[in-house]
Structure formats: C-alpha cells, structure tokens
C-alpha cells in the first residue's frame, strides 16, 4: 500500500513541475494570456475545466 501512495505522490509532483515549467516558458515567450490559459487547462480534469467561450 505504501508503494502505491509513493508512486501517486511522485506522479503528482511530476505533473506539478511540468505545469510550472510550461507556465514559465509561456510567460518568457510572451505567450498570449488566453492561449496560455487554454494550454494550462489541459492539466485539469475535464469536469474541472472552465467552459469554453
């Protein structure tokens, strides 16, 4: 049971780091805020994403 908990924690940490890196890269590239928002929303589960306009 401890191994699954550790694997899940590692996966979450990896996803969070990826999210942070993509955000920083987008800001440095001068990415349009709406485009950046759409890119980052892919990290959210489908049911937690904001409705598309």
CA quadruple 40, 45, 48, 51: dihedral positive or negative?
A: positive
pLDDT digits (tens, 9 = 90+) for 5-35: 999 999 999 999 999 999 999 999 999 999 9
Cα(51)–Cα(20) distance, rounded to whole angstroms?
A: 23
pTM of the model: 0.70
Given a cut of 90, is residue 3 above it in pLDDT?
no
Q: Per-domain residue ranges for the chain?
A: 2-42
CA dist., res. 27 & res. 36, Å (int): 8
DSSP letters spanning 1-53: -HHHHHHHHHHHHHHHHHHHHHHHHHHHTT--HHHHHHHHHTTS-GGGSPPP-
């Amino acid at each position: 049971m401890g191994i699954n908990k550790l694997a899940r924690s590692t996966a979450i940490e990896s996803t969070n780091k990826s999210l942070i890196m993509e955000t920083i890269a987008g800001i440095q590239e001068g990415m349009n805020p709406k485009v950046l928002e759409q890119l980052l929303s892919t990290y959210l589960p489908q049911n937690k994403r904001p409705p598309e306009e």
